[in-house]
Amino acid sequence: MPATDTAAELRDVTKRFGAFTAVDHLDLTVPRGSFFALLGPSGCGKTTTLRMMAGLEQPTFGNVSIEGRDVTGVPPHKRPVNTVFQSYALFPHLSIAENVAFGLRRKREPDVDRRVAEALALVELADLGDRTPSQLSGGQQQRVALARAIVNRPAVLLLDEPLGALDLKLRRQMQLELKRIQTEVGITFVHVTHDQEEAMTMADSVAVMNRGRIEQLGAPEELYELPCTAFVANFLGQSNLARGTVVEVRADGALGVDVAGTRVLVRSDRAATTGGAVLVGVRPEKITMLVDGQEPVPGQNVLGPGVVTDVSFTGVSTQYQVEVPGIGTFGVFAQNLAGAATVALGAKVHLAWAARFTFALDGREDATEGTTDVDDEP
């Protein structure tokens, strides 16, 4: 088997269920040893992609390789891949120890008892080997599922929304645990989730998927600070998007964009296109509000004036909604440094932010892609 830096690779993979295309001409490379996240809303095809890596689904077209070897068409029990299922899928009629030993026994590996004990110690469940799954809590079951997969030292460990059933505090805890275990053991993890905070906290690289395609792939910071589609801009955190037209290309490499009469500067390497209609974007935590008399700092873009229409104190921050005529409603997050909201409801403010944080998307995009609506199905 050729040594390779790629743990898993999907080449031009398409999966159709009847008339419905779940995965559409997908290309994906998972680097060895990384913690890789597949992030997207439900129905985007991320679970299907995972199942194709596991062999539980077969692609309609395209190839799947694990560690350089083409495994398209190879059944799951012959692939060096293990899965942690969303429902954990622990065998109810076997003890915890026997659950964890299951894969080792099927492959007739030596030294089963020692390796099982090791795996259980890794997930901090060392004394529970004799219990049955029904006697364990949800969090414990999840860790058994992880141990059961890890003990086999697979080339790729697949996790299908494993933390979905846990409550918030436990989920946070498990996120850190999973990250720690992955670093310790060094196995490639591919983690499927719809929770963007989870993906950004845990993963080295994130692939954002929508409607069967990868919208953007990169490190969490890259994706967050420089989204290249409206979907990524809205799905990861929140974005303020405003329509404008490029009116000048400056010598220093910045683009001047006319947004409802105001000039906004964007670095050309942070813009999806250098001419025509664009969607100018900035993250809410980057914006400061200028009240009466306050002057912007050089190097800032300014929009306004607008009216504050909502003030929500969340403890860590205060979230404002500011309505700017001709542009729409912008959200502003202000860190709680003063102990209370600093700007009052109804105040007239200007919005200012450092120009280097602006990004620009193709103007033909739908600015609401990736946002959720009350009427959306859960």
Partner 1 sequence: MRARLGRALVPTMALLGIAYLLVPIAYTVAFGFNTAGKTNLVWRGFTLENWRNPCGAPQVCQAFVNSLRVGVLATVLATLVGTLLAIALVRYRFRGRSAVNLLIFLPMSTPEVVIGAALLAQFLSLRVELGFWTVVAAHVMFCISFVVVTVKARVASLDPALEEAAADLYATPVATFWRVTFPLLLPGIAAAAMLAFSLSFDDFIITNFNSGSFTTFPKFVYVAATRGIPPQANVIGTFMFVLAILLVVASQVVTSARARRRRR
Task: By CB under 8 A, name the binding residues for partner 1.
Answer: 54-56, 75-78, 81-83, 85-87, 89, 91-93, 102-103, 106-107, 132, 134-135, 148-149, 152
Closer residue to partner 1 (CB): 74 or 302? 74
Q: How far is the CB of 33 from partner 1 (least distance, A)?
A: 21
Length of the chain: 378
Tokens 């954990």 belong to: 88
Q: How far is the CB of 113 from partner 1 (least distance, A)?
A: 17
Closer residue to partner 1 (CB): 55 or 363? 55
Closer residue to partner 1 (CB): 132 or 371? 132
| Cβ density class 39-76: b for 16+ within 10 Å, e for less | bbbeebbbbbbbbbbbbbbebeebebbbbeeebbeeee
CA 369 – CA 201 distance, rounded (Å): 23
Q: How far is the CB of 56 from partner 1 (least distance, A)?
A: 5
Q: How far is the CB of 187 from partner 1 (least distance, A)?
A: 15
Neighbours of 297 (CB within 10 A): 11
Q: Is 330 left (phi over 0), alpha (psi -120 to 50) or beta?
A: beta
Per DSSP, the three-state class of 100 is helix
In Å, how far are 129, 230, 310 from 224, measured between CA atoms?
42, 12, 25
Closer residue to partner 1 (CB): 53 or 264? 53
Q: How far is the CB of 82 from partner 1 (least distance, A)?
A: 6
CA 196 – CA 206 distance, rounded (Å): 9
Closer residue to partner 1 (CB): 76 or 331? 76
Closer residue to partner 1 (CB): 106 or 364? 106
Q: How far is the CB of 132 from partner 1 (least distance, A)?
A: 7
